Structure 1
Amino acid sequence: MSATADSTIAAPRTGRIDPKYTRDRTKSGNFEMLTWLFMRLSGIVLVVLIFVHLFSNLMVGDGINGLDFGFVAGKWADPFWQFWDLALLWLAMLHGTNGVRTIINDYADKDGTRFWLKTVLYAATAVIIVLGTLVIFTFDP
């Protein structure tokens, strides 16, 4: 584009002339900063948890051919691996839920829509965490 050409900006496609953020920001307070920090810290911890999980399951022993019911039963007989998998489950679910919550807050314009989407999200998260925790601790081959 030459320096003498007209540099106009195209009109916004939303039809709104002056789009403004209309939601009240005073309610979130320190919560958003803490969730931002949680995402960074849990991401670092999740990388370690995931790579140790993958290494111990796929690289040690018979590799992928050794993964069966007996392998999981033997692994979960050790409280260390129960805690490891529990930490992986909880952190992954909370990290993912927080990410989806942020997307809902960013893209759901109506308060009612935002409320119901987050209600379904939190309910699904709670069910998966409770069921996963029960499976890890009540697993009896």
Structure 2
Amino acid sequence: MTWLGIGVLVIGIALLILVIVLIKPLLNLAGVLTSVQKTTDQLPQTVADLTSKTTEVMGTSVETLNQVNTRIKELSPLFYTVGNIGRATNRLSSLVVNVADETKVKTESANEFTTGKNLEGLYGVLTLGYFLFKSGKK
């Protein structure tokens, strides 16, 4: 054998050892690729199922929103009425407060007049007589 033959033989033995060492990782890689192929084969059916479920959920959501909108339209006049009653009550309470303030001012000025003229007793007797007269009519 010549040097060239010996070199080719050494290279052949090295490649044989390399193939023997790489057989196990290559078989594992083949198994992984087979699993990936099985998973990707199921993917279109999974996507179709997911799409149909999403469509159903969206349809149900639209129906629910339509029902809510219908109920809100039915309740809107009630809310307007409650708002109007609230505003009317506010105006009425403001009017009562104004009348009470005016009465208070008038009463204070009358009280000052009676105190200044020493007429408290006379007004007390007149008030008592008025209440007795009113209770006698009942």
Query: Larger relative CO (CA 8 A, sep 6+): 1 or 2?
Result: 1
TM superposition score normalised by structure 1:
0.29
**Higher Cα radius of gyration:** 2
